[in-house]
Amino acid sequence: MLFRLIARMSLLALLAAAAVPALSQVVAEANEGGIPLSIGVGYSNFASDWSGRLAGPTLWIDWNPYGGPSFLRGFGIEAEGRDLNYERTGGVGNLRQDTAEGGLLYTWRRHRNFHPYGKFLVGYGSIDFTLHNDPYYHHDSRTLLAPGGGVEFRAWRNVWVRGDYEYQFWRDFFNHHALNPQGPTIGISYDIKHIGRH
């Protein structure tokens, strides 16, 4: 199910990227070339807000258009999927949290090799757990909100290293209690948009 959601969000990001030429202005020759996408993979370690910590892989796709109006420069769209199913530190043996999210990204590009960014994502979360007082209730899902931010460093040409932190809001669990998983992701991304630039 998570892979279907990631595939749909990836398709949505690619369709949005294909629509950009209709909205963009003419850009300088030095800025042309490539597709304005970067694709990354990382490893997350989150406090589950249920029982201990969970870790697992994260995949993201960022669309950062160029050539638009100046007030939109730095804005982009991020699609992200995460599977927290490993390195459990709590007492719930089947605890798992999967998310698929998408939303706005703002990257501050003042420096060539160092980019701080902030993001606000909306998505879908799925959680597996064990309750001793109700053996039939062991899975739930919610719409979630996820503000976050981080920084990217250029490692080599089109390869960037990313450090990210995200705080999630899963609403209305158990007497209107919000579940708030949060944690860092460390990963690496490949910037497709600079392919072909000199």
Count the Cβ atoms, other than its own, within 10 Å of residue 138.
Answer: 12
Q: Rounded to whole angstroms, how far apart are CA atoms 59 and 82?
A: 6
**What percentage of the chain carries pLDDT values higher than 90?**
61
pLDDT of residue 107 exceeding 70, the answer is yes
CATH architecture of 2-17+34-194: Beta Barrel (2.40)
Q: Looking at the whole model, is its pTM more than 0.95?
A: no
Please write the tens of the pLDDT for every residue from 12-22: 444 444 444 43
Convert the pLDDT of each residue in 129-177 to its tens digit. 988 888 888 899 999 999 999 999 999 999 999 999 999 999 887 666 8
Q: Are 143 and 168 in contact (CB under 8 A)?
A: no
Which residues are CB-contacts of 53 (< 8 A; sequence separation ≥ 6)? 45, 46, 47, 87, 88, 89, 90, 183
Q: Are 76 and 35 within 8 A, CB to CB?
A: no
Going from N- to C-terminal start, the domains of the chain cover 2-17+34-194
Region 11-34 average pLDDT = 43
